[in-house]
Structure 1
């Protein structure tokens, strides 16, 4: 998780019983605690986005050394409490082909809930009700400036940044009906992180490469440019039927190679390690745990 000194990588963390947010230092090994620098009104990443205060964070933290080693803090999702998490389904051509789903004129969108996600190096919990827990590596887009009926050509001005996402899927529950929500919202089944990389550090998001590994084996590999519905198209479509707000998360879809469609199908087991790596963004790592 190495960065340049100018990079803005924001994290939400827990340390010594306190939850706060911070900026990673240039070498990525420590966290600058933003709470004491910015005050209670800007006490979270979501509050900073709502206030349009990213530049204030940059100015307050530039050149500072870390307040805690990254290894000593627990990373939570960069936005632990988004008002909306909206996911695009079957949005890579390779995934559409393996599912045998027909082409669609519109994106498939479904929600996740905030308590369905955990942070980097936190366990993903396979529910007791299933043996078919699957991985889906994805790019998450975090909204910085809200809006309704956002035009595709204006979409990038509404993006605060990007992160890795593991859209863990409980396949049998996902297939109970035509609606996928039941298989996508079990507690602690999705990974989000490790950090929010601000959009100004990602000049060409379509050029990013996404790789998902399970126990070190590459299972998915694609370019973000392979999305069927691009990020601007997703933002335009979603913001037509629901207003977007600062801190909302759009999860953009997964490439082909998911466990369900392998021959034979291969699902996640307790002890497995899933890594979602996106070039320029970082690597999200989660170990699978059985529900107690």
Structure 2
């Protein structure tokens, strides 16, 4: 199932929780749950706010899955042409990022394979939806792209074992860890180059884990103006999805709705000769097998 946040294009209203049907239409989760209550099929009313939906965790996702199996959604169903997709989780509670997690990317950055996962954080000010523009700040001259498989947590996770880690995952989405390389590299800490306002698209939806048989074997790619830049597979992750969830949960309690960006493969603009940084009006397209495609324009601000 694909979970989205959406709003009608002609409306300035808040983003609402939805899912995409097999016919590529969006169903409003809150209204569908109300209808199911009236029909006597459930007693659980699901919230319309995406952040509240995910904070309730896997139980609400399971309830939405039951609604997905019903076909009687005509009165609260919209075509994709009628709506705008937002960041699937509404807002970001914790955004935990992993650096240096593909060996060939480590090599192109002239670095060394880490003994432990390299972790850093992003903040909500950086996060945007899958149809928004990436802001190119005047503070940087070296804005780069990074396609990343992104994990969405579905259950509270603290000190979990690697072999049970996927039980705590709700699903997966795509992230662009857009990086201002000049800001990132002027100090040992990367944060200032990784959290500029309005720079990190997440989306276009969350694909629930039942549809991703093996997150460790997915083709992953990026394109700038339709030129292929990155092309790899998550089987080349140095630290796997289960390992990362377990490792991080032993440091930080993970809550439902938290996300983990798992690192990017080789092919970033920084490593090209000459460098291939993005420019104003460039189109950045990211693609991950089993999830889909996310495209964002770059806008100088």
**Equivalent residue of 2:91, what SS?**
coil
C-alpha deviations, 1:207-259, integer Å up to 9, x for none?
21001011001100010110001111111111111100000000000000100
C-alpha deviations, 1:99-150, integer Å up to 9, x for none?
1211221010000112211111211111111111100011000000112111
Q: How many residues align?
A: 283
Q: Does 1:47 align with 2:52?
A: yes
Once residues 103 and 206 of structure 1 are traced to their aligned partners in structure 2, the CA distance between those partners, rounded to angstroms, is 19
Q: Does 1:67 align with 2:74?
A: no
Once residues 17 and 36 of structure 1 are traced to their aligned partners in structure 2, the CA distance between those partners, rounded to angstroms, is 19
Aligned partner of 2:299 in structure 1 is 289
- Where do 5+ consecutive residues of structure 1 fail to align? 1-7
C-alpha deviations, 1:163-186, integer Å up to 9, x for none?
111110011111121110101111
Structure 1 length-normalised TM: 0.93
> Larger Cα Rg: Structure 1 or Structure 2?
2
- RMSD value, Cα: 1.4
1:271-282 equivalent positions in 2, closer than 5 A? 271-282=281-292
Once residues 152 and 187 of structure 2 are traced to their aligned partners in structure 1, the CA distance between those partners, rounded to angstroms, is 29
Corresponding residue to 2:151 among 136, 141, 144: 141
Q: Does 1:262 align with 2:272?
A: yes
Structure 2 length-normalised TM: 0.90
Q: Does 1:9 align with 2:2?
A: yes
Once residues 128 and 69 of structure 1 are traced to their aligned partners in structure 2, the CA distance between those partners, rounded to angstroms, is 38
1:106-255 equivalent positions in 2, closer than 5 A? 106-255=116-265
Q: Is the 8 A contact 2:232 2:265 kept in 1?
A: yes
Once residues 207 and 193 of structure 2 are traced to their aligned partners in structure 1, the CA distance between those partners, rounded to angstroms, is 28
Q: Is the 8 A contact 2:102 2:237 kept in 1?
A: yes
- Where do 5+ consecutive residues of structure 2 fail to align? 35-44
1:27 positional shift:
2.9
**Equivalent residue of 2:62, what SS?**
helix
Once residues 133 and 82 of structure 2 are traced to their aligned partners in structure 1, the CA distance between those partners, rounded to angstroms, is 17
1:261 positional shift:
0.8
Corresponding residue to 1:21 among 17, 21, 29: 17
